[in-house]
Amino acid sequence: MSDTRQFGDLAIQLVTESRRSTLTDTLLKYNDNLVRQIIREQRDLEKLMQTLIDTDAVSPSLLIYQTAIVRNKRCLLAYHMHRMDRLRDMYWACGCALPHILSNAPLRSKLSPHEVDYLRQYNASTMAFRASFSSNNDDLVWVKKDCGTIHTELGAIDFKKGQRFMVRRADIEHLIVQGYLEEV
Amino acid sequence: MDLDDDDSFFTRNVLGGNPAPRQPAAPAAQRRASPDPFQSGPDFDVWTANRDSEDTQGETPLQQLIRHWMNERHAPDILPVQQTLLSGLLDHIRRQSDTVQILRSDPSSSEEDHFRIMLVQTEIERVKFIVRSYVRTRLFKIEKYARYITTNADVQSRMSATEQQHATRHATLTDEHFFQSVLRSLPAPQRGLDEAPAFVPSIVTLPDKTRAVFVHARVDCPPVRLPDGTTLEMEKGHISLTPYAVVEQLVARGEVELV
């Protein structure tokens, strides 16, 4: 197998994975191993190119290496972009409730640490966008289920079943979506 | 405010109960410079009357928003934001919700009144859905074309300030993620995102203006040139399937709508 391998084979696998993810409409586990292998291939290619350039010989291999590098890089970026799109779709599908996604262990194990960061930042960005639409920020809510201590802008609040609170909408919106709180 | 007013508010003319007096058109600059969501009725009226062709006048703000929403959903490109229309409606929704709250807590209201309040609430939800979907559709496109938007002043002029900020944030966020996950580990010469190698499609996603759309002529339209050189002249009510680029100007002028 290794004899017949050519540059870009791994990248194809990666893109196929994206394609499979689309077709089956599921988020597959982040393929860290494959991504690393491709990055290693990129480094090797760069070294090969560098030695060629150093020898000063004009060689057609240069073009092959260059094409492989460009292609691999594009596949890597496409793979990550595809995942970002899926993550955003997921985020919206569950009503912008980020804790809901992150507390889901099987789902979380499919994400890379950078993707978790990405989701957090995306959440912050979306919240900022939404804040511009709602002018009345305060909401009276009723606690339907105990949900522990939540840190809000007004300080930590311990939500106990049956209590009522006046809170900032942005702080507790995800709890409403998940059914812990209810607007009064 | 009495209930009859609530029932008909979305089917009649805008903002509050009284029909707004029609004023001569204000200069464009003045209208642009009023992003205040609490602006008065007459100003709002003038704005819409002047913006599109004259047959907008029969449309309620909701019908206008539905039209812009449909256009937005079908057009591959980002259309001009309907800031004033949107904030007018949002403002109205807010005031209607407040009125409903007051009426609901009024102990003297009868069973029948409560039934009518319910209808008003349903209607408010319906309008909210359209508003939300409109904003969400724009947001989807903004995220998709974030990189293209940050380099194109023309598109930016069609977006609200908040949308522009979101586009910038999103472009940075995407680049950051690429850098953290991939580019950082690559050899230094390969780290750029701005290279454009030959024979490879551009890395920046652009709106596909050749996409086919169904257009419905709202008025008799001036002829448009089709890609094969012939011209198409649409009469009022005519429906046809063309590439978006062909009817782009007609959509911008409000002479056709996308269906």
Q: Do the Cβ atoms of A138 and A166 come closer than 8 Å? A: yes
Q: B 165-224 residues with CB below 8 A of A?
A: 165-166, 169-170, 173-174, 176-178, 180-182, 185-187, 189-190, 195, 197, 200, 203
CA distance A65 to A88: 35
CA distance A148 to A151: 10
- In chain B the domains, ranked by start, together with CATH numbers, are 3-18+32-145 (1.20.58), 212-258 (3.40.5)
Question: How many Cα atoms are found within 13 Å in the side-chain-facing hemisphere of A126?
Answer: 21
Across A3-7, A34-38, B5-9, B187-191, least confident range: B5-9
Helices B41-51 and B83-104 sit at what angle, rounded to 10 degrees?
Answer: 140
CB of A130 less than 8 A from some CB of B: no
Architecture of domain A9-131: Up-down Bundle (1.20)
The pair of three-digit structure tokens given for residue B248, joined into one six-digit string: 């782009």
User: 3-state class of B225 per DSSP?
Assistant: strand
- Edge to edge, the sheet with strand B212-217 lists B239-243, B212-217, B256-258
Helices A32-55 and A9-24 sit at what angle, rounded to 10 degrees?
Answer: 150
What pLDDT digit, counting tens, does each position of B232-250 carry? Answer: 888 888 999 999 999 988 9
- pLDDT category at B15 given cuts 50, 70, 90 is very low
Helices A113-131 and A169-177 sit at what angle, rounded to 10 degrees?
Answer: 120
Interchain CB distance below 8 Å, A129 and B139: yes
CA B70 to chain centre: 9
Q: What is this structure's pTM?
A: 0.74
Strand partners, B213: B242
> Which of A116, A133, A137 best probes binding to B when mutated, by most B CB atoms within 10 angstroms?
A133
Q: What average pLDDT does the segment A133-154 reach?
A: 71
Q: Residue A137 pLDDT > 70, yes or no?
A: no
CA distance B136 to A92: 10
Contacts of A132 (CB under 8 A, 6+ apart): B162
Could you say which DSSP state residue A145 is in?
A: S
What pLDDT digit, counting tens, does each position of B121-172 carry? Answer: 899 889 989 999 999 999 999 999 998 999 888 999 999 989 999 999 999 9
